[in-house]
Structure 1
């Protein structure tokens, strides 16, 4: 099973874009004398959005959307939702504006990202020739993808520069205050668990119904409470490949490494007691907390302090960009959709882009192997 805090890797040829995508899909800002972005499809089709200093046409957005679908196939589904599609148009306009503000040095850095992307793409094609066909099916070329990467990277340089500025201002007191918000995340916990899964995470195929999974989990709990052996029962019942051959053991893990429901159980369940089955998106977990220790701030690992600092910086950058966004006066004029999906709309937040199903948000499934 996947480790909760380790996001599912996208296609190998998008590895060079990881930081670019995260930055470019925030919010954006721009100047009225925006530089030409050199995006494929620019000027083609109807104007679907305007903003101070620029516009978005259907042709260039289609190219961008196709690129995003290649980087994350779930975009195909979300683009059917009018609310999300409108938000993606806004994001596209925002990063275009950001790209238009890049300095000469920032453009040079973007050129390096393009080179890295091209190398990654060519290496991946050698391993999987179908990638070229997939790109053609999306009506894209390598040169067009490079143009999109250049614009995205150019825009991200603006956010990166602001991030560095905010980072220098963060104090140890700020980091301590951020830690105090979620102290329990840093508990060091040893647990045993048995997962009764409802879905095969590698194929998406249903393994058993929710009702059957819960029934099986309760059966496991009863056997454990009757003195059953964790090693034997984990091998027989658990669908967590990362722990089933270790008696379901996860030893001395930081609680924040686990999906929210599992983390809450690890932090609150009485030590030594086998709890009621805990449901996550992966199924039902039968959990026994064997040990739990708090981690005071002065004992935090430097990596944790660095992560806390980055959380503070990210929030400041987001606030800054959202404030700048208001100055753009973006107006989206997409053609009316025949119908909407009121229940499926994602958050309007620019950072709420879809993620692979195996890594929802910052957390994912069950606890897993390292």
Structure 2
């Protein structure tokens, strides 16, 4: 788990649900529609709501321990095995893919989960009345959003949703309570994040991190030409010549590009962060004069013919949400380094069961 549980708002977790459904169903979530109750196409058998319900199994814990066991002891409190199990079951409900990771976790991974959840408990205990109210309201709203997503998978059958929760040993109150706890911890961390803090972060960002560009391109891949670089370059140069004679870029890209990610948009990536691209492509996106056809740009994938159609730096207001997330992570890192390990006095993490073959 790359990011802390304390930093995973319930809203973020819910976004993960439909992606998780694809994994739980053993399907490719990138290529299948989220609503798998739609009519089948091309002779494929339709997935019925009952089948979807069967995909969401109760979490199988990879360890055995008495419910009252204190898995983590810290100043002014403990994390019991019972509390930890509830937390893990809710995470499985919010994000089935995360649940699959929990079932195969080793002892060290369980310790990480327990440490992060202990951090969430400690931070949440510092919330004042206003923070608690805000956290509860958000948790209630997010639960309703989560329910809508599940209902879309279950044929909008409320009884099936209730059965799904019951099968996992959960109810609304338990799920909302866990999301509220996470929200409270985040609200406490967010307390010290003000406008000057965010502006300081913004001013410290380099130009590349702020730049977005709309780039239209055609990829002539090495793979398609059996890794013959000379042949690949020759094809790319022929396309450059056709573009410079006035042929339509979008049409030519749709017909010739080897990049499936932009084929349907006529080769266009619109208003994209340049930092997401490979170095050579990024460099060209940053430096090419606007609306000029480039010479072939070589990357590990092949040769790209590029045209930068727009380029700008994002403003502070456009970056604000991203900056808030960054500041939140920094606040949590500070809590981790300066407080958490000093507050935790003992771990009693159970050994995990051998993975089934």
Q: How does 1:160-199 map to 2 (within 5 A)?
A: 160-163=190-193, 167-170=194-197, 175-176=202-203, 178-179=204-205, 182-194=206-218
Q: Provide the residue aligned with 1:289 in structure 2.
A: 306
Distance 1:45 1:291 in 2: 62
Give per-residue Cα distances to partners, 1:29-79, cap 9 Å, x unaligned.
xxxxxxxxxxxxxx9343221111111222221221121122223323432
**1:256-335 matched pairs, under 5 angstroms:** 256=275, 259=276, 261-262=277-278, 265-268=281-284, 271=288, 272-278=294-300, 284=301, 286-291=303-308, 300-304=314-318, 306=320, 309-310=323-324, 313-314=327-328, 316-322=330-336, 323-335=338-350
> Which structure dedicates a bigger proportion of its chain to helix?
2
Instruction: Please name the residue that 2:118 is paired with.
Output: 93
Give the TM-score normalised by the residue count of structure 2: 0.62
SS in 2 for 1:226: helix
- 1:234 maps onto 2:254 in alignment: yes
Provide the residue aligned with 1:343 in structure 2.
Answer: none
SS for the counterpart of 2:327 is: helix
Inter-partner Cα distance in structure 2 for 1:171 and 1:143: 35
Aligned to 2:70: 47
Provide closer, same or farther for how the CA distance between residues 196 and 216 of structure 1 changes in structure 2, counting only shifts above 3 A.
Answer: farther
> Cα deviation per residue 1:142-170 (whole Å; 9 max; x = unaligned)?
2211221222222222112132xxx2443
Unaligned runs of 5+ in 2: 1-11, 21-65, 155-159, 243-248, 289-293
Match of 2:175 among 136, 139, 145: 145
Q: 1:248: Cα distance to partner?
A: 0.6
Note the C-alpha offset of 1:311.
6.2
Alpha-carbon shift at residue 89 of structure 1 (Å): 0.7
Taking the aligned partners of 1:236 and 1:325, their CA distance within structure 2 comes to 55
* Partner residue in 1 for 2:46: none
The one-character-per-residue Cα deviations of 1:327-362 (angstroms, maximum 9, x if unpaired) are 31253221223569xxxxxxxxxxxxxxxxxxxxxx
Structure 1: segments with no counterpart, 5+ residues: 1-6, 15-42, 198-210, 279-283, 341-370
Output the TM-score relative to the length of structure 1.
0.60
Give the equivalent residue in structure 2 for 1:81.
105
Select the structure of larger CA radius of gyration: 2
* Mapped partners of 1:286, 1:156: distance in 2: 45
Of 217, 236, 243, the match for 1:224:
236
How far apart, CA to CA, are the structure 1 residues paired with 2:304 and 2:77?
55
1:58 aligned partner: 81
Q: For the structure 1 residues 220 and 61, does the alpha-carbon distance in structure 2 shift closer, same or farther, using more than 3 Å as the test? A: farther
Q: Which one scores higher on RCO, CA 8 angstroms, separation ≥ 6?
A: 1
